[in-house]
């Protein structure tokens, strides 16, 4: 049920709710929940928090081919941090 709630809030663009629902998301969580947790942080401008979570996931899942999305998430968070733009900014 929580997975559905997280995805529904993401579809609505309610990133604060996604962040709250993703509390406790970690290495044992689904890939979709990890991605949404990272993007909730990016959409809320919490780039350092997103980068910390990405680093944690990279360490815990090294060698796991399902985590090919982590470098992309890192690029998105780094871009936002460097440019000070939130992910929903038209210039992003």
Predicted confidence (pLDDT) per residue in 18-66, tens digit: 888 888 777 567 778 888 888 889 888 899 999 999 998 887 777 676 6
Please state the pTM of the whole predicted model.
0.75
Instruction: Give the pLDDT of residue 48.
Output: 94
| Dist. CA 88–CA 30, nearest whole Å | 24
Give 41's contacts (C-beta < 8 A, 6+ positions apart): 19, 47, 49, 50, 53, 77
């Amino acid at each position: 049920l929580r997975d559905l709630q997280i995805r529904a809030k993401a579809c609505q663009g309610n990133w604060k709710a996604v962040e709250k629902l993703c509390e406790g998301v970690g290495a044992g969580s689904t890939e979709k929940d990890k991605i949404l947790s990272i993007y909730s942080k990016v959409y809320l401008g919490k780039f350092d928090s997103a980068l910390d979570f990405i680093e944690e996931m990279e360490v815990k899942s090294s060698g796991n081919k399902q985590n090919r999305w982590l470098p992309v998430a890192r690029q998105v968070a780094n871009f936002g941090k460097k440019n000070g733009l939130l992910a929903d900014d038209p210039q992003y």
